[in-house]
Structure 1
């Protein structure tokens, strides 16, 4: 017999006690992705400036933030924020323990994991304006930037995990 809890996804948010540098973020995301059951990942944090915002070097480009890429599955995503928290949608409740174990193996400091609703389940007004009344892939609901000409920070991963 299939119960409601067997078919519903679960959404969690990981709160590291510090911002993650790109190498730590890459290792953590690799471990989480390998643990399985991940449907969606959202990375949040303050923007990394592209140019010096103030002071004597105001307006000069910041080269150290250039070409910071996170690789997840078969996609490379430009890192445009300091990784402050990570939102995940998982296939089931059992996958939370795999994510917790991945965080414990990877993060050298404490973290919190909270279960809460992060992603939209119905189309937003921005979704409707961008895609119309029918959205083919439900994973993009609520992830639309209404001012963006194209979704360059939205990566769709294939279902194959690349496990060998």
Structure 2
């Protein structure tokens, strides 16, 4: 142990060590929501930067809870505002993206959408689709999360 008046060895390395730790061990946190309307249709989005149809969601921002992030993403991507409590359905590790990507899954049934969102630079298409007739290109993980929600099962721990 160093004496309080003594300087720690090589203090300039601490910021570099911290940065290396964040790169090596940094964890990403996100949300996805299975939004089901009164006609038993699910809301899906198609992004400009990746193929396929996906559940709405995205990254959780600093100082934001999973639920706050989920609510924000639903407003941004779907113009969807919750009118009741969402159901937390588990956390998945998305190993296809990275070994550290964790996604909280919510089921949303009580909401309002004043109007469909307009396409933008991120979300090029969106809409509600019958659960038993998902659009071509719906990703495997998306279809699995929808099945789990409809069947009343917890989300699989792996995306």
Normalized against structure 1, the TM-score is what?
Answer: 0.24
- Give the number of the structure whose alpha-carbon radius of gyration is greater: 2
Normalized against structure 2, the TM-score is what?
Answer: 0.25
